[in-house]
Amino acid sequence: MSKVFNWQLGREMDYPREVTSPQKQIGWIFDTNKCIACQTCSIACKMTWTSGRGQESMFWNNVETKPYGSYPTAWDLEVMKKIGPGSWEEGVYDGQTVFEAADGRKEKVAGVLPSDEDWAHPNHGEDEIAGGTMPQGMHINEETHPLWFFYLPRICNHCSYPACLGSCPRNAIYKRPEDGVVLIDQSRCRGYRECVKACPYGKTMFRPNHEVSEKCIACYPKLEKGLQTQCVEQCIGKIRGQGWISNPKEGVREDHPIDYLVHIKKMALPLYPQFGTQPNVFYIPPTHVPADYLAQMFGPGVAHAQEAYRTIKKDEKLAGLIQLFGSTPFILERFDVRNGIAKGFDKDGTLVAEVPVTEPTVVRDHYDKKRDVYRLDVT
């Protein structure tokens, strides 16, 4: 057991292993306002890594509809029941994490082992709305938006304090020092499924025919070449960014995409920070969803993040950075926005992306005299 500082909780906490920080930590940003649940990311990942026998129900990347969707079933509700209630006081969490809620005699991490049935329905709850039914004549405007749902894309968070790693009795799980990627050593794993039970995000999975656990590997062969993961590169909605995230205690970089969004502008937030694993996937919360629901999911910074997104047009640098999402297959190490142009640079400092902050708008005539045709799409 060691005492570690979790910046997302604003306090120290217990962690069941000794920890050495990686030289760099990989991280992601997902903009939930733009996700259309096309599942291209899920399929890109599945076609690349989990199309074999025994992996039929395995989605390292999944996209679920909140509040009713979940994969595995009720993963987040089950963990919240385990850790119990907690609240935030000036950015400090006073409840228990999955490590602190564990019964030390029986387990290192408080977790729930999903059943086979729980893994069998990755799309349950898809597109189901919250807030009641839609009466005839009801329409949506900015003031009244009582009905809502949103899409939550999910991968392994390559946590700074991984619950999977902390729970493994075989020491088969490790965090790579060069990039913070969390991997399972298949030769050491004996399929005890302690990690499957411990991961509060339901992101380690058991492969019955090989009798080992498997999980997202952050596409490390691509990562080592400076390339984005499959789920990021293939994202149709251009909702995803990928890069390095700094520990705020060690300083943050203003020209660094993830640092800028997470630490400086605080527009992207960790998912269920109260679980205590210090996850490294950060979400821009949806602007149309009630902030009190989102606060339990993304912590106390939701209202600020929503407002930053709503007013993004006034902030050229922030708007430009968002435009860089989906503009290049390379991991962006640095960005720069000026004179209406956003630029992204790779690990060698080479310019790999250049996009306008605002796309030009062209309005065409509804009737084209030259061709004697009517246009349906005029902008």
Residue pair 67/130 in contact (Cβ under 8 Å)? The answer is yes
Stretch that binds ligand SF4, among 156-164, 263-271, 352-360, 366-374 (CB under 6 A): 156-164
Does 284 help bind ligand SF4 (rule: CB under 6 A)?
no
- Binder to ligand SF4 among 4, 7, 19, 38 (CB under 6 A)? 38
Check binding of 102 to ligand SF4 (CB under 6 A).
no
Smaller CB separation from ligand SF4, 214 or 259: 214
Q: Does 153 bind ligand SF4 (CB under 6 A)?
A: yes
236 neighbors 36 (Cβ within 8 angstroms) = yes
- Least distance (Å) between residue 375 CB and ligand SF4: 28
The residue range among 160-168, 262-270, 308-316, 334-342 that interacts with ligand SF4, by the rule CB under 6 A, is 160-168
CB-count exposure of residue 93 (10 Å: 0-12, 13-18, 19+): buried
Does 39 contact ligand SF4 by CB under 6 A? Answer: yes
Phi–psi pair at 129, nearest 5 degrees:
-90, 155
Minimum Å distance from CB 171 to ligand SF4? 14
Residue 288 Cβ vs ligand SF4, minimum distance, rounded to whole Å: 16
Stretch in the footprint of ligand SF4 (CB under 6 A) among 31-39, 266-274, 283-291, 370-378? 31-39
Rounded CA separation 48/57 (Å): 15
Task: Restricting to residues 171-190, name those near ligand SF4 by CB under 6 A.
Answer: 182
Size of residue set near ligand SF4 by CB under 6 A: 28
Residue 266 is encoded by which pair of tokens?
Answer: 């605080």
Q: Does position 215 bind ligand SF4 by CB under 6 A?
A: yes
Distance (Å, whole) CA 72 – CA 58: 10
Q: Is 201 in the site for ligand SF4 (CB under 6 A)?
A: yes
164 lies in the site for ligand SF4, by CB under 6 A? yes
Residue with CB nearest ligand SF4? Answer: 237
Determine how β-strand 182-184 pairs with β-strand 173-175.
Answer: antiparallel
User: Residue 232, interface with ligand SF4 (CB under 6 A)?
Assistant: no
Q: Based on CB atoms, which residue is closest to ligand SF4, 199 or 332?
A: 199
- The token pair at 58 is 């395995």
Q: Which of residues 58, 199, 227, 294 is near ligand SF4 by CB under 6 A?
A: 199
Between 63 and 219, name the residue whose CB sits nearer to ligand SF4: 63
Smallest gap from residue 173 Cβ to ligand SF4 (A)? 7
The smaller minimum CB distance to ligand SF4, of residues 242 and 277, is found at: 277
63 near ligand SF4, judged by CB under 6 A: yes
Q: Which stretch binds ligand SF4 (CB under 6 A): 47-55, 117-125, 198-206, 296-304?
A: 198-206
Please identify, among the stretches 88-96, 126-134, 151-159, 260-268, the one whose residues bind ligand SF4 according to the rule CB under 6 A: 151-159
CB of 215 to ligand SF4, least distance (A): 5
277 binds ligand SF4 (CB under 6 A): yes
SS (H, E, C) the chain: CEEEEECCCCEEEEECCCCCCCCCCEEEEEECCCCCCCCHHHHHHHHHHCCCCCCCCCCCCEEEEECCCCCCCCHHHHHHHHHCCCCEECCEECCCCCCCCCCCCCCCCCCCCCCCHHHCCCCCCCCCCECCCCCCCCCCCCCCCCCECEEEEECCCCCCCCHHHHHCCCCCEEECCCCCCEEECCCCCCCCCHHHHHCCCCCEEEECCCCEEEECCCCHHHHCCCECCHHHHCCCCCCEEEEECCCHHHCCCCCCHHHHHHHHCCCCEECCHHHCCCCCEEEECCCCCCHHHHHHHHCCCHHHHHHHHHCHHHCHHHHHHHHCCCCCCECCCEEEEECCEEEEECCCCCEEEEEECCCCCCCCCCEECCCCEECCCCC
**Piece in contact with ligand SF4 (CB under 6 A), picked from 123-131, 195-203, 287-295, 315-323:** 195-203
**Residue 15 near ligand SF4 by CB under 6 A:** no
Contacts with ligand SF4 by CB under 6 A lie at 35-41, 63, 151, 153, 156-159, 162-164, 182, 199, 201, 203-204, 215, 235-237, 239, 277
